[in-house]
């Protein structure tokens, strides 16, 4: 579970990108720990309650993985699950790879359509986090 760094409210789901209480984007703010939801002193590097790194860790506003790279990988190599490996979604990546390989390429049409749609969703911002919940950079 993740907590809003701006108000401390627990997110409804791990996939949520905006806090329903304050409207802040996931990863924005420095008032509360995203791991335990406890208040944090301004400028803290580590949460005094649970010990998680607060700055530059998994809960920072940008994760460093490129939205454009992920989208293009999905469109051009998606039937092999490359974009999902890149984003850390290994379960989906293995599923796409196996669909393609175990059907001797016949299933590549199915996983190709699946990944093309995911590529468009990544490029338009519908999918905007990696498997760790970090926001994709532009």
| Ranges of each domain in the chain | 1-59, 67-124
Residue spans of beta strands (DSSP E) within 8-131: none
Task: Compute CA 68 distance to the chain's CA centroid, rounded to the nearest angstrom.
Answer: 14
- pLDDT at position 55 is 65
Segment 43-60 shows an average pLDDT of: 70
Write out the two tokens for 19.
């806090």
Instruction: Determine the average pLDDT of the residues in 62-86.
Output: 90
Nearest 5°: phi and psi at 53? Answer: -70, 135
What pLDDT score was predicted for residue 62? 46
What is the structure's pLDDT at 23?
85
- pLDDT of 77 reads 95
pLDDT at position 47, please? 83
CB atoms under 10 Å from CB of 19, counted, come to 23
| Distance, CA of 124 to CA of 38 (rounded, Å) | 34
pTM for this prediction: 0.58
Tell me if 32 sits within 8 A of 3, measured CB to CB: yes
Is residue 89 predicted with pLDDT exceeding 60? Answer: yes
* pLDDT, average across residues 23-32: 82
**Residue 14 dihedral angles phi and psi, to the nearest 5°:** -65, -25
Over residues 26-45, the mean pLDDT reads 82
């Amino acid at each position: 579970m993740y907590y809003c760094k701006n108000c401390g409210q627990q997110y409804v789901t791990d996939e949520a990108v905006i806090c329903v209480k304050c409207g802040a984007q996931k990863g924005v703010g420095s008032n509360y720990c995203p791991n335990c939801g406890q208040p944090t002193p301004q400028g803290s590097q580590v949460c005094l309650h649970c010990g998680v790194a607060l700055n530059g860790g998994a809960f920072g506003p940008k994760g460093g993985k490129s939205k454009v790279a992920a989208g293009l990988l999905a469109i051009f190599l998606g039937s092999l699950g490359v974009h999902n490996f890149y984003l850390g979604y290994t379960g989906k990546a293995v599923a796409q790879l196996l669909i393609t390989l175990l059907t001797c390429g016949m299933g590549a049409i199915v996983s190709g359509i699946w990944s093309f749609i995911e590529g468009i969703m990544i490029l338009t911002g519908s999918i905007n986090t990696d498997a760790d919940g970090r926001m994709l950079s532009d």
